[in-house]
Amino acid sequence: DSQTACVVGVEMAALLQSIVQIILHMRTLAKHCFRNSSESQKGWFRQTWGEQVVTRLVKGRFPYSIAKANSHKRKRESKQVLEALQVSWDQDPSCPLLNTQLCLITFLFSQPSELWTQCVQYIRNSLRNAGRLQTEESELLCECLEAVSDQPSSSAASSLLEAVCKSGLTSNQHVFDFLTRIARMPSHHLHKDKNFTTWLDSLPALLCKPVVPLSTICNIAFIATHVHSAFCNSLDGWYEEIIGNLPNMEVAGDEDNKGRRMVVGLAYRVNDWDQEMMHNVREMIVQGTLGPDLTRYLKEILRLKSEDTYNVELKKMLQDLLQSL
Protein backbone atom coordinates (compact mmCIF):
# COMPACT_ATOMS: atom_id res chain seq x y z
CA ASP A 1 0.00 0.00 0.00
CA SER A 2 1.65 3.24 -1.13
CA GLN A 3 0.04 5.11 1.79
CA THR A 4 2.11 3.16 4.28
CA ALA A 5 5.33 3.24 2.24
CA CYS A 6 8.56 4.49 3.75
CA VAL A 7 9.32 7.71 1.90
CA VAL A 8 13.01 8.40 1.33
CA GLY A 9 15.15 10.78 -0.66
CA VAL A 10 16.50 9.79 -4.04
CA GLU A 11 20.03 9.40 -2.67
CA MET A 12 18.84 7.16 0.15
CA ALA A 13 16.85 5.02 -2.29
CA ALA A 14 19.92 4.61 -4.47
CA LEU A 15 22.10 3.75 -1.49
CA LEU A 16 19.53 1.29 -0.18
CA GLN A 17 19.32 -0.44 -3.54
CA SER A 18 23.10 -0.80 -3.59
CA ILE A 19 22.99 -2.35 -0.11
CA VAL A 20 20.26 -4.76 -1.18
CA GLN A 21 22.24 -5.80 -4.26
CA ILE A 22 25.31 -6.43 -2.11
CA ILE A 23 23.24 -8.62 0.24
CA LEU A 24 21.86 -10.63 -2.68
CA HIS A 25 25.35 -11.03 -4.16
CA MET A 26 26.68 -12.19 -0.78
CA ARG A 27 23.86 -14.71 -0.53
CA THR A 28 24.67 -16.02 -4.02
CA LEU A 29 28.36 -16.24 -3.13
CA ALA A 30 27.61 -18.11 0.10
CA LYS A 31 25.31 -20.49 -1.77
CA HIS A 32 28.05 -21.16 -4.32
CA CYS A 33 30.70 -21.74 -1.64
CA PHE A 34 28.51 -24.22 0.25
CA ARG A 35 26.99 -26.00 -2.76
CA ASN A 36 28.61 -29.32 -1.80
CA SER A 37 28.04 -28.90 1.94
CA SER A 38 25.31 -30.02 4.33
CA GLU A 39 21.89 -28.37 4.37
CA SER A 40 22.73 -26.50 7.58
CA GLN A 41 25.87 -25.04 6.01
CA LYS A 42 23.96 -24.10 2.86
CA GLY A 43 21.53 -22.16 5.04
CA TRP A 44 24.28 -20.41 6.99
CA PHE A 45 23.70 -16.96 5.51
CA ARG A 46 19.97 -17.11 6.09
CA GLN A 47 20.32 -18.41 9.63
CA THR A 48 23.01 -15.89 10.55
CA TRP A 49 21.79 -12.73 8.88
CA GLY A 50 18.34 -13.40 7.46
CA GLU A 51 16.19 -12.16 10.32
CA GLN A 52 18.30 -9.03 10.86
CA VAL A 53 18.19 -8.12 7.17
CA VAL A 54 14.41 -8.49 6.92
CA THR A 55 13.83 -6.66 10.21
CA ARG A 56 16.06 -3.71 9.38
CA LEU A 57 15.17 -3.26 5.71
CA VAL A 58 11.65 -4.57 5.20
CA LYS A 59 9.46 -4.84 8.30
CA GLY A 60 7.50 -1.66 8.92
CA ARG A 61 9.16 0.06 5.97
CA PHE A 62 8.08 -1.80 2.86
CA PRO A 63 7.29 -0.62 0.23
CA TYR A 64 9.60 2.33 -0.29
CA SER A 65 8.93 5.39 -2.40
CA ILE A 66 10.98 8.46 -3.31
CA ALA A 67 10.12 11.98 -2.20
CA LYS A 68 10.77 14.47 -4.98
CA ALA A 69 9.97 17.54 -2.89
CA ASN A 70 12.73 20.16 -2.99
CA SER A 71 14.58 17.94 -5.43
CA HIS A 72 15.86 20.90 -7.45
CA LYS A 73 17.46 22.48 -4.39
CA ARG A 74 19.22 19.23 -3.57
CA LYS A 75 20.06 18.20 -7.10
CA ARG A 76 23.56 19.66 -7.12
CA GLU A 77 24.44 18.10 -3.77
CA SER A 78 23.00 14.75 -4.83
CA LYS A 79 24.74 14.55 -8.17
CA GLN A 80 28.03 13.18 -6.87
CA VAL A 81 26.30 10.59 -4.70
CA LEU A 82 24.14 9.33 -7.55
CA GLU A 83 27.07 9.22 -9.98
CA ALA A 84 29.07 7.18 -7.49
CA LEU A 85 26.17 4.74 -7.18
CA GLN A 86 25.63 4.73 -10.97
CA VAL A 87 21.99 5.70 -10.56
CA SER A 88 20.01 8.17 -12.64
CA TRP A 89 18.35 11.14 -10.97
CA ASP A 90 15.14 10.42 -12.87
CA GLN A 91 14.20 7.26 -10.99
CA ASP A 92 10.67 5.93 -10.82
CA PRO A 93 9.33 7.36 -7.53
CA SER A 94 7.68 4.02 -6.72
CA CYS A 95 11.08 2.22 -6.65
CA PRO A 96 9.80 -0.93 -8.43
CA LEU A 97 13.17 -2.65 -8.75
CA LEU A 98 14.19 -1.95 -5.15
CA ASN A 99 10.85 -3.08 -3.76
CA THR A 100 10.86 -6.28 -5.80
CA GLN A 101 14.39 -7.02 -4.59
CA LEU A 102 13.14 -6.54 -1.04
CA CYS A 103 10.33 -9.00 -1.80
CA LEU A 104 12.98 -11.50 -2.87
CA ILE A 105 14.96 -10.89 0.31
CA THR A 106 11.80 -11.46 2.34
CA PHE A 107 11.08 -14.75 0.56
CA LEU A 108 14.68 -15.92 0.89
CA PHE A 109 15.36 -14.93 4.48
CA SER A 110 12.07 -15.35 6.34
CA GLN A 111 9.28 -17.85 6.87
CA PRO A 112 5.80 -17.42 5.31
CA SER A 113 4.03 -14.66 7.20
CA GLU A 114 1.86 -11.58 6.82
CA LEU A 115 4.91 -9.87 5.35
CA TRP A 116 5.00 -12.52 2.63
CA THR A 117 1.36 -11.76 1.86
CA GLN A 118 2.20 -8.08 1.57
CA CYS A 119 5.10 -8.81 -0.78
CA VAL A 120 3.02 -11.14 -2.94
CA GLN A 121 0.33 -8.49 -3.25
CA TYR A 122 2.94 -5.90 -4.21
CA ILE A 123 4.24 -8.11 -7.03
CA ARG A 124 0.72 -8.92 -8.20
CA ASN A 125 -0.10 -5.21 -8.39
CA SER A 126 3.16 -4.53 -10.23
CA LEU A 127 2.49 -7.26 -12.79
CA ARG A 128 -1.02 -5.97 -13.34
CA ASN A 129 0.44 -2.67 -14.51
CA ALA A 130 3.38 -4.11 -16.46
CA GLY A 131 3.11 -4.24 -20.22
CA ARG A 132 6.40 -6.09 -20.46
CA LEU A 133 9.37 -6.78 -18.23
CA GLN A 134 12.97 -5.79 -18.72
CA THR A 135 15.53 -8.60 -18.49
CA GLU A 136 16.55 -7.72 -14.93
CA GLU A 137 12.91 -7.54 -13.84
CA SER A 138 11.98 -10.90 -15.36
CA GLU A 139 15.03 -12.55 -13.78
CA LEU A 140 14.04 -11.08 -10.43
CA LEU A 141 10.46 -12.26 -10.84
CA CYS A 142 11.66 -15.81 -11.49
CA GLU A 143 13.91 -15.68 -8.44
CA CYS A 144 10.88 -14.68 -6.38
CA LEU A 145 8.86 -17.53 -7.88
CA GLU A 146 11.66 -19.97 -7.18
CA ALA A 147 12.05 -18.75 -3.60
CA VAL A 148 8.35 -19.09 -2.74
CA SER A 149 7.99 -22.39 -4.60
CA ASP A 150 10.45 -23.90 -2.13
CA GLN A 151 7.78 -23.45 0.56
CA PRO A 152 4.95 -25.90 -0.24
CA SER A 153 3.08 -24.90 2.92
CA SER A 154 2.57 -21.38 1.55
CA SER A 155 0.06 -20.31 -1.09
CA ALA A 156 2.48 -17.62 -2.28
CA ALA A 157 3.77 -19.63 -5.26
CA SER A 158 0.26 -20.30 -6.58
CA SER A 159 -0.70 -16.68 -6.07
CA LEU A 160 2.36 -15.36 -7.92
CA LEU A 161 1.97 -17.90 -10.72
CA GLU A 162 -1.65 -16.86 -11.15
CA ALA A 163 -0.54 -13.24 -11.49
CA VAL A 164 2.12 -14.19 -14.03
CA CYS A 165 -0.40 -16.11 -16.14
CA LYS A 166 -3.00 -13.34 -16.01
CA SER A 167 -0.35 -10.84 -17.09
CA GLY A 168 0.50 -12.95 -20.14
CA LEU A 169 4.12 -13.29 -19.05
CA THR A 170 4.46 -17.07 -19.45
CA SER A 171 6.00 -16.47 -22.88
CA ASN A 172 8.80 -14.45 -21.27
CA GLN A 173 11.92 -16.59 -21.73
CA HIS A 174 13.00 -16.43 -18.09
CA VAL A 175 9.51 -17.36 -16.88
CA PHE A 176 9.23 -20.09 -19.52
CA ASP A 177 12.56 -21.59 -18.43
CA PHE A 178 11.54 -21.46 -14.76
CA LEU A 179 8.25 -23.27 -15.43
CA THR A 180 10.11 -25.83 -17.52
CA ARG A 181 12.44 -26.56 -14.59
CA ILE A 182 9.41 -27.12 -12.36
CA ALA A 183 7.84 -29.42 -14.96
CA ARG A 184 11.01 -31.50 -15.19
CA MET A 185 11.15 -32.14 -11.45
CA PRO A 186 10.02 -35.64 -10.42
CA SER A 187 7.51 -34.07 -8.04
CA HIS A 188 6.58 -30.55 -7.03
CA HIS A 189 3.56 -29.03 -5.32
CA LEU A 190 2.96 -26.74 -8.32
CA HIS A 191 2.35 -29.76 -10.57
CA LYS A 192 -1.24 -29.78 -9.31
CA ASP A 193 -1.70 -26.03 -9.53
CA LYS A 194 -4.47 -25.00 -11.93
CA ASN A 195 -2.44 -22.26 -13.60
CA PHE A 196 0.52 -24.57 -14.02
CA THR A 197 -1.54 -27.32 -15.67
CA THR A 198 -3.17 -24.70 -17.91
CA TRP A 199 0.30 -23.62 -19.00
CA LEU A 200 1.24 -27.25 -19.71
CA ASP A 201 -1.92 -27.64 -21.76
CA SER A 202 -1.00 -24.60 -23.87
CA LEU A 203 2.46 -25.81 -24.91
CA PRO A 204 1.73 -28.12 -27.88
CA ALA A 205 -0.19 -25.34 -29.65
CA LEU A 206 3.00 -23.27 -29.69
CA LEU A 207 4.44 -25.76 -32.20
CA CYS A 208 1.76 -24.80 -34.72
CA LYS A 209 3.08 -21.27 -35.14
CA PRO A 210 4.93 -20.22 -38.31
CA VAL A 211 8.09 -19.39 -36.35
CA VAL A 212 9.12 -21.25 -33.20
CA PRO A 213 12.37 -20.62 -31.27
CA LEU A 214 14.63 -23.63 -30.85
CA SER A 215 14.68 -22.98 -27.10
CA THR A 216 10.89 -23.40 -26.96
CA ILE A 217 11.05 -26.71 -28.83
CA CYS A 218 13.82 -27.96 -26.54
CA ASN A 219 11.84 -27.07 -23.43
CA ILE A 220 8.71 -28.76 -24.76
CA ALA A 221 10.68 -31.86 -25.74
CA PHE A 222 12.16 -32.07 -22.24
CA ILE A 223 8.73 -31.67 -20.66
CA ALA A 224 7.37 -34.43 -22.91
CA THR A 225 9.69 -36.93 -21.23
CA HIS A 226 7.79 -36.39 -17.97
CA VAL A 227 4.27 -37.72 -17.69
CA HIS A 228 2.08 -34.68 -17.09
CA SER A 229 -1.47 -35.57 -18.05
CA ALA A 230 -2.35 -31.98 -19.02
CA PHE A 231 0.53 -31.86 -21.49
CA CYS A 232 0.04 -35.41 -22.81
CA ASN A 233 -3.67 -34.94 -23.46
CA SER A 234 -3.01 -31.68 -25.24
CA LEU A 235 -0.25 -33.22 -27.35
CA ASP A 236 -2.61 -36.01 -28.42
CA GLY A 237 -5.04 -33.40 -29.70
CA TRP A 238 -2.50 -31.16 -31.42
CA TYR A 239 0.10 -33.50 -32.90
CA GLU A 240 -1.55 -34.05 -36.26
CA GLU A 241 -1.61 -30.30 -36.81
CA ILE A 242 1.91 -29.96 -35.39
CA ILE A 243 3.49 -32.40 -37.81
CA GLY A 244 1.41 -30.97 -40.65
CA ASN A 245 2.84 -27.55 -39.85
CA LEU A 246 6.42 -28.82 -39.70
CA PRO A 247 7.34 -28.49 -43.42
CA ASN A 248 6.54 -24.77 -43.34
CA MET A 249 7.68 -24.02 -39.80
CA GLU A 250 10.75 -21.87 -39.28
CA VAL A 251 12.82 -22.87 -36.27
CA ALA A 252 14.60 -19.75 -35.06
CA GLY A 253 18.16 -20.48 -33.97
CA ASP A 254 18.27 -23.99 -35.49
CA GLU A 255 21.27 -24.73 -37.68
CA ASP A 256 21.35 -28.53 -37.88
CA ASN A 257 17.67 -29.58 -37.94
CA LYS A 258 17.78 -30.35 -34.23
CA GLY A 259 14.47 -28.61 -33.56
CA ARG A 260 12.64 -30.40 -36.37
CA ARG A 261 13.93 -33.78 -35.19
CA MET A 262 12.61 -33.02 -31.72
CA VAL A 263 9.18 -32.17 -33.13
CA VAL A 264 9.14 -35.43 -35.11
CA GLY A 265 10.30 -37.29 -32.00
CA LEU A 266 7.22 -36.11 -30.12
CA ALA A 267 5.27 -38.70 -32.13
CA TYR A 268 6.56 -41.26 -29.64
CA ARG A 269 4.64 -39.46 -26.87
CA VAL A 270 1.32 -39.46 -28.75
CA ASN A 271 -1.11 -42.11 -27.52
CA ASP A 272 -4.39 -41.12 -29.16
CA TRP A 273 -4.15 -42.10 -32.83
CA ASP A 274 -7.10 -42.49 -35.19
CA GLN A 275 -7.39 -43.76 -38.76
CA GLU A 276 -7.41 -40.28 -40.28
CA MET A 277 -4.22 -39.33 -38.48
CA MET A 278 -2.60 -42.62 -39.51
CA HIS A 279 -3.57 -41.94 -43.11
CA ASN A 280 -2.19 -38.39 -43.07
CA VAL A 281 1.09 -39.46 -41.48
CA ARG A 282 1.43 -42.29 -44.00
CA GLU A 283 0.93 -39.82 -46.86
CA MET A 284 3.64 -37.58 -45.44
CA ILE A 285 6.03 -40.52 -45.30
CA VAL A 286 5.19 -41.80 -48.80
CA GLN A 287 5.46 -38.35 -50.35
CA GLY A 288 8.60 -37.49 -48.39
CA THR A 289 7.06 -34.20 -47.29
CA LEU A 290 9.52 -33.82 -44.42
CA GLY A 291 12.59 -34.57 -46.51
CA PRO A 292 14.58 -37.83 -46.54
CA ASP A 293 16.29 -37.48 -43.14
CA LEU A 294 13.21 -36.54 -41.12
CA THR A 295 11.08 -39.07 -42.99
CA ARG A 296 13.47 -41.86 -42.01
CA TYR A 297 13.50 -40.58 -38.45
CA LEU A 298 9.69 -40.50 -38.30
CA LYS A 299 9.56 -44.13 -39.44
CA GLU A 300 12.07 -45.06 -36.75
CA ILE A 301 10.01 -43.29 -34.08
CA LEU A 302 6.81 -45.01 -35.20
CA ARG A 303 8.54 -48.40 -35.22
CA LEU A 304 9.88 -47.79 -31.73
CA LYS A 305 6.43 -46.71 -30.55
CA SER A 306 4.85 -49.86 -32.00
CA GLU A 307 7.35 -51.98 -30.09
CA ASP A 308 7.01 -50.17 -26.77
CA THR A 309 3.29 -49.45 -26.49
CA TYR A 310 1.09 -51.66 -24.32
CA ASN A 311 -2.00 -50.50 -26.18
CA VAL A 312 -2.88 -53.51 -28.34
CA GLU A 313 -5.06 -51.54 -30.73
CA LEU A 314 -2.46 -48.81 -31.22
CA LYS A 315 0.28 -51.40 -31.68
CA LYS A 316 -1.66 -53.04 -34.52
CA MET A 317 -2.46 -49.70 -36.17
CA LEU A 318 1.20 -48.70 -36.16
CA GLN A 319 2.36 -52.10 -37.38
CA ASP A 320 -0.16 -51.97 -40.24
CA LEU A 321 1.01 -48.48 -41.16
CA LEU A 322 4.66 -49.51 -41.22
CA GLN A 323 3.96 -52.65 -43.23
CA SER A 324 2.10 -50.60 -45.84
CA LEU A 325 5.12 -48.43 -46.57
Strands 211-213 and 64-66: unpaired
**pLDDT for position 303:** 95
At 1, the pLDDT band (50, 70, 90 cuts) reads very low
pLDDT digit string, tens, across residues 106-138:
999 888 889 999 999 999 988 876 656 677 888
- Peptide bond before 204: cis, by omega within 30 degrees of 0? no
12, HSE (Cβ side, Cα atoms, 13 Å)? 13
Q: Mean pLDDT throughout 28-34?
A: 72
CA dihedral 128, 133, 138, 144 (to 10 degrees): -20
Distance CA 285, CA 244 (A): 12
pLDDT at 314 > cutoff 70: yes
pTM greater than 0.85:
no
pLDDT digit string, tens, across residues 259-304:
999 999 999 999 999 899 999 999 999 999 999 999 999 999 999 9
DSSP state of 47: I
Q: Could you tell me how many residues make up the chain?
A: 325
pLDDT at 95 > cutoff 80: no
| Domains in the chain: boundaries | 1-125, 200-324
Distance CA 128, CA 293 (A): 47
